[in-house]
Chain A
Amino acid sequence: MPKFMLLQKYEGGEGCSEPMSNWPPQDIKAHIDFQVALNQELRHHGEFVDAQGLSAPELARIVTVDAGGAPVVTDGPFLESKEFLAGYRMIDVETPERAIAIAAQASAAPGPGGVPIRQPIEVREVMGAPAIEL
């Protein structure tokens, strides 16, 4: 079975571009409940591998190495924080179509007033296929 990463950034979607910190508390709760329930459903189907949220872009550091081999660290705040990864789900499913269906479900997570955010979900297959004898 192929594994897929479903990646979510900080950008909003058609339904809502407002940061979560500006939502009414009950809507934040509904959103979190939705995510927990989705993971629970994936577990129940035997498709769940992992799901994690990442700490805020404010805590991100960009690291490169200088010519001498020493790390060069850039701290935030970053201008393009919406481009940062917010979290991911890894799923193990029978078909690519199933991965798309789950991604669509994730994109329908509710925002303020329960309106689906319709956030873009990036679906990437994990390179785990058996190699064919060449």
Chain B
Amino acid sequence: MSQGRGVEELLRELAPQVLGVLVRRYGDFDTAEDAVQEALLVASTRWSQDGLPESPRGWLIQVAVHKLTDQRRSEQARRRREQLTLAQEVSGAEVPDRDDTLAVLFMCAHPALTPASAIALTLRAVGGLSTAEIAGAFLVPEATMAQRISRAKQRIESSGMPFQLPEREHWPERLRSVLHVLYLIFNEGYTSSAGPDLHRAELAGEAIRLTRAVHELLPHDGEVAGLLALMLLTEARRAARTGPDGALIPLAEQDRARWDRRLIAEGERLLTGAFAAGAVGEYQLQAAIAALHDGARRTADTDWPQILALYELLERISANPMVTLNRAIATAMVHGPERGLALLEALDEPLGEHHRLDAVRAHLLEMAGDPCAAAKHYRAAAKRTRSIPEQHYLTTQAARLGVSVG
């Protein structure tokens, strides 16, 4: 492991812990977060040159406290130097509370924030990424991302929510927001894999790293384990899901030898542990479905009856049109395309504008032996998608059927 890479990893792991200590002491999330970012920058250069200090965490806390003091001093110089003793309040040796990282996570998935701001803030405050890195991942100017993060922090500040773990009764709902933010980060990255999207692909790795950290903090939470398993079982297929030209390769046609067996095994292990722990949630079920796909050595070996049963269960605990859409596919695989197509009719209303409904309908119509209608729906789906690789795929599907129909 090169020194540079080790330093970056360590810094990003320490970032939320150090932030937790500062916020707990001074209560000012916004300024503390800026101070930690500055301290990370200093450490990044200094440690790469001189090697690690004896206590990296203590070092970072001390530098961050100095930055915070400087900031406050310059703000308050006009009034009076009332914060002179600030630097002495926290000793570098202070041990951060295990819960600090969690509290920072909960703060970043604050209910007052929109998903986009929660994502940006989580990547910076918990992930320790710089604003420039986050801006690069989302392809916006750095100044724009800086503004987005700063507004998010102001929102949190003005909400007056204290920096602490949520009350017991709010815990499930708040943890759900945290997991949702991590899931969104993963999705942003997982589905982009080529060219200018390379930066975005790193987001998937970052989401896994953060979810792994949450799992270490809350090893007994089944949904945290479920989400981590879902990410690993999905990430395992990354190399197989795009061709060398960046073209999408659907699950059924992927070269399964290219799936990452190590990630699959880890995902399966997590899932077994989560199910053993009791209460079943959304992420666990989705992970279980992913595990069934990953466990099939050949497409033909896929255990569709089991997948169908899981989608039925999933629909019972979190009914939404996208789940029904997936259940329709599983139904078609088990009971034939007509049964799947019949289920799609109920989705015309809620999903009418969504390209995925057209894409699935096209697929099932093709299975049912109606290439003309299938081609028509592939074309409709191609017009409605907002993703270029998907558009290419859907257009090619339509063209393929057009040719075979003559």
Contacts and interface: CB of A to CB of B under 8 A. Distances in A.
Contact of A130 (B148, B192, B251): B192
A113 B146 CA distance: 37
B147 A43 contact: yes
A132 B391 contact: no
B229 to A, nearest CB: 16
Contacts of B386: 2, 125, 127-129
B238 to A, nearest CB: 10
Given A2-B386, A128-B386, A129-B385, A45 B147 contact: yes
Interface in B136-165: 138-141, 143-149, 151
Looking at A46, A47, A127, A129, the one whose CB has the most chain B CB atoms below 10 A away is A46
A63 interface: no
A47 B117 CA distance: 11
Given A46-B147, A49-B141, A92-B140, A134 B359 contact: yes
Contacts of B145: 46
A127 B248 CA distance: 15
B341 to A, nearest CB: 18
Interface in B188-224: 188, 190-192
Contacts of B390: 129, 131-132, 134
Contact of B248 (A1, A3, A43, A134): A134
A94 B117 CA distance: 9
B187 interface: yes
Contacts of A48: 140-141, 143-144
B56 interface: no
A37 to B, nearest CB: 16
Contacts of A2: 386
Nearest to A134: B250
A92 B188 contact: no
B55 interface: no
B88 interface: no
Given A44-B147, A127-B391, A129-B386, A94 B192 contact: no
A129 B387 CA distance: 5
A14 interface: no
A133 interface: yes
B188 A130 contact: yes
B166 interface: no
A66 B149 CA distance: 51
A127 B387 contact: yes
Given A94-B114, A130-B188, A134-B248, A49 B387 contact: no
B47 interface: no
Contacts of B389: 131
Contacts of B151: 45-46
A94 B356 contact: no
A49 B117 CA distance: 16
A46 B391 CA distance: 29
Given A46-B145, A49-B141, A134 B387 contact: no
B388 A92 contact: no
Nearest to A132: B356
Nearest to B146: A46
Interface in A73-124: 92, 94
A131 B387 contact: yes
B116 interface: yes
B393 interface: yes
B90 to A, nearest CB: 32
Given A129-B385, A129-B387, A131-B248, A46 B144 contact: yes
Given A2-B386, A46-B144, A127-B388, A92 B359 contact: no
Nearest to B397: A134
Contacts of B140: 48-49, 92
B241 interface: yes
A132 B360 CA distance: 12
Contacts of A132: 191, 356, 387, 390
Contacts of B141: 48-50
Given A46-B144, A131-B191, A134-B250, A1 B391 contact: no
A43 B146 CA distance: 10
B114 A134 contact: no
Contacts of B391: 127
Given A132-B390, A134-B250, A134-B359, A49 B144 contact: yes
Nearest to A46: B148
Nearest to B187: A130
Given A46-B149, A49-B144, 6 more contacts: A43-B144, A45-B147, A45-B151, A49-B140, A131-B192, A132-B387
Interface of B: 114-117, 138-141, 143-149, 151, 187-188, 190-192, 234, 237, 241, 248, 250-251, 356, 359, 385-391, 393
Q: Can you list the 9 inter-chain pairs with the closest CB atoms, starting with the nearest? A: A46-B148, A130-B191, A129-B386, A46-B147, A134-B250, A131-B387, A131-B390, A1-B116, A129-B387
